[in-house]
Amino acid sequence: MEGLGSVLPFVAIFAVMYFFMIAPQLKRQKQEKKFASEMKRGDRIITKSGMHGKIVELNDKDNSCVIETLAGKIKFDRSAISMEMSKKLNTPAKAK
């Protein structure tokens, strides 16, 4: 029983780390993957660097997209598109 008592704190620390660090990160990765796969032409997006644009072309072969900005068309990797900021951009503001 002494061996179990010395291992129990390590198991508890791992469980806490899993529920507060690992599980939320896995959930977020799944949401971002779903967001990237559901993008379509005409969607307004914001990149992680803050560039605004509209999707004009999607390429599944190299997992990229071409967005149109005021300056022209630019090719980005889909992972460079911010899920949070793009969702805020596309959801209508609540009337006060």
Q: What is the pLDDT of residues 21-36, one digit of tens each?
A: 999 999 999 998 899 8
Query: Which of 68, 38, 39, 37 lies closest to 53 in space, CA to CA?
Result: 68
- % of the chain exceeding 70 in pLDDT: 93
For residues 27-62, one letter each, b for 16 or more C-beta atoms within 10 angstroms of the residue's C-beta and e for the rest, the string is eeeeebeebbeeeeeebebbbeeebebebeeeeeee
Q: Which fold has domain 40-96?
A: SH3 type barrels. (2.30.30)
| pTM of structure | 0.70
Domain boundaries of the chain, sorted by first residue:
1-38, 40-96
Separation of alpha carbons 89 and 55, rounded Å: 14
CB 44 within 8 A of CB 5: no
pLDDT of residue 66: 95
